[in-house]
Chains A and B, each alone.
Chain A
């Protein structure tokens, strides 16, 4: 009995590896699972580790042999450089503005539209929804030609704004297009999970449709909205191809473009590229670490209807 109390045994029991408490085959299988997962995580995180240490090595160390897997002289110089020698502040602000605005538009429209699709039977409800979702199937890359043409010479509003080429607005419009159908779909599925009797109870309590939606349903949909918002933000923050096609200067270029600019024809400035890459990757890593469950639920709602 006394051995049971040792820390090792307690750990073993809490991990479900104690053969006194579990079938030996179950414990063995579990141990194997821990092992395989640990190896997998180490392997997939290694490149992230390597690019991170590259970003804190001086350029001279990056390009010297033998390569080091532990930085000998860690420094933040690369990060300072990209903000002073290159307009990374502009790129970051562009990325923030584009991703935030896109996200706001997507969750606003996605939420109200998703709610109506969830609750009301209107003409062509189903086919409209299918066509909205079907819009996702159009490969964006197929549309780079028309989008480039449209943004260079926008119809209807062209007289007012002139060309939208190389503006943040062009990116916002484009990203909203790609993310909105997804947002509607996630939110529709989320609202489907909220019992309709709550809407009805709100009406009985004296709420109009709008009041019921705003006062009762919307507060309950916060997790769904968060999931939609995070995914829309990440997608817009990370987008590369349309940013490449639709922008050409620091007044609209976003971080993914900025990072790619470190690649010259023959020479790549790896140390600074790594630092820029880490900046670009930061929101993703943070969201992943702290809001993993929203990303999972959003993606699940979006892809697989329960």
Chain B
């Protein structure tokens, strides 16, 4: 068991900087997920921790040791690859034994550990088969088993579930959660799938352009994104962004002119938004925080036309066009009966509103919201 600490880590390839100075503390026994779009540097970060790549600059610490100069085979880690990387010419048993043998483990202990791990993962009856005789899900388990059997300080997982079909993926997600609870081994997990990240992580690090955009507890990051990238990346369908000009009404209230329609800014953000009066500001609202309003309460109600109705089972996603011409998505109750072309009124949940600087993407209301949460 060990914590992992990355400090100002940089990795440059020929002409690209894949990892651009990231610092991240991965506490002992945590399940940390690096999430981001492809090319964001998450896999490179994982490979740097593994020792498969050499860091250009910065420091990697596993436990008490600075491991920058240690090779992969000198670091006490195990890794699960996206394509599982099972040795095709070895049986499942020998796949699991190999790492232990390389570390000169006693024969008795090897046998025992392989048996235990196989039982834990319920793959005992597969032990004498070869990888080619296994289904994708079974190969996945074996790959996990091979990592677990080593009992390393850190597990590194590179999109391990991305090759499974949707149903199996959900099942394995639950199982990974259970395994982590049982083993408590520090885990660094890379994925591009934000749902996977949200469900698995107790710490999530959202990456983009080789940098960490935000770190924290998944739900916290979800509700309090620091910038438009994080806000847009987490959540499906993703957050709606509406850009407008911030103005002060005659009554001294702040309002956003969305190009015809007026959106009233809640009072608690007045201080935070004050410097932006007269400037462009982006309003962010998640689809699930938009309701169809029949009552016609005037505040923050926006008329819109239904363009597409997409029932997804547990919810129905609507694509709508605002009177201003901007398009917006809303996730509503599946019982809602609307049809294409219907005119509806949309109400934005005032507690879920976020405001961003459209040029830098920075959240303007992050600090205010954190303070608020602290007082509650």
Asked if the two chains touch in their complex, CB atoms less than 8 Å apart, one says yes
Per-position 1/0 for B65-82, Cβ under 8 A of A: 000000111000111011
* Contact A211-B83, Cβ < 8 Å, known A204-B78, A220-B88: no
Known: A211-B102, A220-B89. A204 touches B72 (CB 8 A): yes
Most chain B C-beta atoms within 10 Å of own C-beta, residue among A197, A211, A216: A197
CA distance A136 to B279 in the complex (A): 69
Give chain B residues whose Cβ lies under 8 Å from the Cβ of A208: 71, 73
- Complex CA–CA separation, A243 to B150 (angstroms): 57
B299 at the interface (CB under 8 A from A): no
Question: Contact: A204 with B79, CB < 8 Å?
Answer: yes
Are B73 and A204 within 8 A (Cβ)?
yes
Which residues of A have CB within 8 Å of B51? 203
Which B residues lie within 8 Å of A203 (CB)? 51-52, 71-73
Q: Does B269 contact A (CB under 8 A)?
A: no
User: Which residues of chain A are near B85, meaning CB under 8 Å?
Assistant: 195, 197-198, 200-201
**Interface residue ranges of B57-106 to A (CB < 8 Å):** 71-73, 77-79, 81-83, 85, 87-89, 98-99, 102-103
Is residue B50 within 8 Å, beta carbon to beta carbon, of the partner chain?
yes
Q: In the complex, A157→B18 CA distance in Å?
A: 51
Residues of A contacting B50 in the complex (Cβ-Cβ under 8 angstroms): 200, 204
Chain B interface bracket (under 10, 10 to 19, 20 to 34, 35 or more): 20 to 34
Contacting B at CB under 8 A, from A179-227, are: 195, 197-198, 200-208, 211, 216, 219-220
Tell which of B71, B78, B83 touches A195, judged by Cβ atoms closer than 8 Å: B83
Nearest-Cβ distance from residue A145 to partner chain B, whole angstroms: 45
- B82: min CB distance to chain A, Å: 8
Docked-complex contact A205 and B98, CB < 8 angstroms: yes
Closest partner residue, chain A, to B71 (CB atom): A203
CA distance A136 to B191 in the complex (A): 46
User: Chain A: interface secondary structure?
Assistant: helix
With beta carbons under 8 angstroms apart, the residue of A195, A200, A207, A219 that contacts B89 is A219
In the complex, are the beta carbons of B102 and A206 less than 8 A apart?
Answer: yes
CB distance from A194 to the nearest CB of B (A): 9
A205 to B52, CA, bound (A): 12
Measured between beta carbons, the chain B residues less than 8 angstroms from A198 are: 85, 87
- Complex formed: what's the CA distance from A197 to B79 in Å? 10
Least CB distance from B361 to A in Å reads: 35
Whether the Cβ atoms of A216 and B87 lie closer than 8 Å is yes
Task: Provide the bound-state CA to CA distance between A202 and B88, in Å.
Answer: 13
Partner of A206, one of B83, B87, B99: B99
B11 to chain A, nearest CB (A): 15
Q: Are B88 and A205 in contact, CB atoms less than 8 angstroms apart?
A: no
> Known contacts A195-B83, A198-B87, A220-B89: does B71 contact A204 (CB below 8 Å)?
no
Which residues of A are found within 8 Å of B102, using beta-carbon distances? 205-207, 211
Q: Which of chain B's residues have a CB closer than 8 A to the CB of A207?
A: 73, 102
Given A195-B83, A197-B81, A197-B83, A206-B88 contact (CB < 8 Å): no
| CA gap between A208 and B82 in the complex, in Å | 22
Residues of B within 8 A of A201 (CB): 79, 81, 85, 87
**CB under 8 Å from chain B, chain A span 226-255:** none
Question: Cβ of A206 and Cβ of B78 under 8 Å apart?
Answer: no
B-binding residues in A (CB < 8 A): 195, 197-198, 200-208, 211, 216, 219-220
What are 28 A-to-B residue pairs whose CB atoms are below 8 Å?
A195-B83, A195-B85, A197-B82, A198-B85, A200-B72, A200-B79, A200-B85, A201-B81, A202-B87, A203-B71, A203-B72, A204-B50, A204-B72, A204-B77, A204-B78, A204-B79, A204-B99, A205-B73, A205-B102, A205-B150, A206-B73, A206-B99, A207-B102, A208-B71, A211-B102, A216-B87, A220-B88, A220-B89
Q: Which 10 A-B pairs have the closest CB atoms?
A: A206-B102, A205-B99, A197-B85, A203-B72, A201-B85, A197-B81, A206-B73, A204-B79, A206-B103, A203-B73
B residues sitting closer than 8 Å to A (CB atoms) are 50-52, 71-73, 77-79, 81-83, 85, 87-89, 98-99, 102-103, 150
